[in-house]
Amino acid sequence: MPDQLIFGMEVFLNGLMAGVLYALVALGFVLIYKASGIFNYAQGVMALFAALTLVGIMEGQVPFSHLINAIFGTEVHHFGWHVPALAAILLTMVVMVALAWVVNVLIFKHLVNQEPIILFMATIGLAYFLEGFGDMMWGSDIKTMDVGLPQGINEVIDTTTAGWFGYGFFIDNLDIVATVIAAALVFTLIVFAQYTKQGRAMRAVADDHQAALSVGISLNFIWVMVWSLAGFVALVAGIMWGTKSGVQFSLSLIALKALPVLMLGGFTSIPGAIVGGLLIGVGEKLFEFAIGAPYLGGATEIWFAYVLALIFLVFRPQGLFGEKIIERV
């Protein structure tokens, strides 16, 4: 087998794994968009905030320590204990649910029946607030996250492929774990939405507020639930990205990568978010490998996704799986 093809296969697999992480972030967007019609710009920052909180709790960091020290002239930074990863994840989830509740009560409850663009602006405000709030609460230094997920080269794949092709593939264990977790998450979400009372109520609210009220669904409850779900997805994405590249504020920018994913997959489709994520992950890696690096001087990964999205906007604006846009006259 020619070397180029074998390299190409490795690139393809790595692209698939990267795509899973894109899909995870995009999934958070789709969830909120489907249930409330809000395009949540803050999804990426929520992932960052979840990751910050998780590390903070695990390390026993004192929240708002800079603020406390500045006001009271004290020197507290750490409680001096370490919380096990699983307990810390559960505590972080509690924080994310609380955040969902506060966001609903303070902001979105008051914006019922407003134009989508107003809701969108509100989420931009939320994004900047949350970024600053996370900074104030946990500090802005880059943190490493280690919740015990396996990392480094997968030996089994390395030796097997070496046996087959005479060249071992480099696949990160973390990427494999991320793929498995993402698949489980998506499966759970789909079952939840399709077959449970709350899932059905969620779809009902997304479809028609008045009708939902008339069958006895509390809009506020559903909204808090949806934002909590988005918080949960953000937490999972935050853990994956945080473990991969450290918890830093540029994490919030991965939200921007989710935009082209959504344009490919369609804003209303959960399978679309996954396929879109995978396509962009694979697409940008393969493009860089086959065309970008040899002919264009490299670094095409930065813009490839956006150009692809642009092409989609021209030829298929509803995305691969989005609902067809039909205007009745």
Q: By CB under 8 A, name the one of 66, 77, 203, 244 that touches other proteins.
A: 203
Q: Under rule CB under 8 A, how many of the chain's residues touch other proteins?
A: 27
Rounded to whole angstroms, how far apart are CA atoms 132 and 123? 14
- The verdict on 110 binding other proteins (CB under 8 A) reads no
SS3 268: coil
- The verdict on 207 binding other proteins (CB under 8 A) reads yes
- Find, among 219, 195, 196, 225, the residue nearest to 207 by Cα: 219
Q: What distances in angstroms separate CA 15 from CA 93, 175, 279, one per listed residue?
A: 29, 10, 8
Choose between 197 and 327: whose C-beta lies nearer to other proteins. Answer: 197
- The verdict on 62 binding other proteins (CB under 8 A) reads no
Q: By CB under 8 A, name the one of 197, 325, 327, 329 that touches other proteins.
A: 197
Minimum distance from residue 194 beta carbon to other proteins (Å) = 9
Does residue 126 contact residue 107 with C-beta atoms inside 8 Å? yes
- The verdict on 204 binding other proteins (CB under 8 A) reads yes
Minimum distance from residue 205 beta carbon to other proteins (Å) = 9
Strand partners, 317: none
Choose between 259 and 273: whose C-beta lies nearer to other proteins. Answer: 273
Minimum distance from residue 10 beta carbon to other proteins (Å) = 38
SS3 61: strand
Choose between 191 and 307: whose C-beta lies nearer to other proteins. Answer: 191
Rounded to whole angstroms, how far apart are CA atoms 22 and 305? 11
Choose between 213 and 299: whose C-beta lies nearer to other proteins. Answer: 213
- Half-sphere exposure in the Cβ direction for 37 (13 Å, CA): 16
Binding mask 210-249 for other proteins (x = CB under 8 A): xxxxxxxxxx-----x------------------------
Choose between 126 and 222: whose C-beta lies nearer to other proteins. Answer: 222
Q: By CB under 8 A, name the one of 3, 146, 155, 208 that touches other proteins.
A: 208
Q: What distances in angstroms separate CA 52 from CA 40, 137, 141, 212, 234, one per listed residue?
A: 19, 9, 10, 36, 12
Minimum distance from residue 209 beta carbon to other proteins (Å) = 9
Stretch that binds other proteins, among 2-10, 77-85, 197-205, 253-261 (CB under 8 A): 197-205
- Tokens coding 248: 């830093």
Q: By CB under 8 A, name the one of 66, 77, 200, 244 that touches other proteins.
A: 200
Choose between 91 and 149: whose C-beta lies nearer to other proteins. Answer: 91
User: According to the 3-state scheme, what is the secondary structure of 166-235?
Assistant: CCCCCCEHHHHHHHHHHHHHHHHHHHHHHHCHHHHHHHHHHHCHHHHHHCCCCHHHHHHHHHHHHHHHHH
- The verdict on 37 binding other proteins (CB under 8 A) reads no
Does residue 28 contact residue 262 with C-beta atoms inside 8 Å? no
- The verdict on 196 binding other proteins (CB under 8 A) reads yes
Stretch that binds other proteins, among 12-20, 132-140, 165-173, 203-211 (CB under 8 A): 203-211
SS3 258: helix
Stretch that binds other proteins, among 58-66, 133-141, 191-199, 249-257 (CB under 8 A): 191-199
Choose between 212 and 275: whose C-beta lies nearer to other proteins. Answer: 212
H helices present in the chain, as ranges: 3-36, 43-59, 65-72, 85-106, 116-138, 155-165, 173-195, 197-207, 209-214, 219-245, 254-265, 270-287, 293-295, 301-315
| Spacing of C-alpha 65 from chain mean position | 28
Q: By CB under 8 A, name the one of 201, 259, 270, 274 that touches other proteins.
A: 201
By CB under 8 A, name the binding residues for other proteins. Answer: 188, 191-192, 195-201, 203-204, 206-208, 210-219, 225, 323
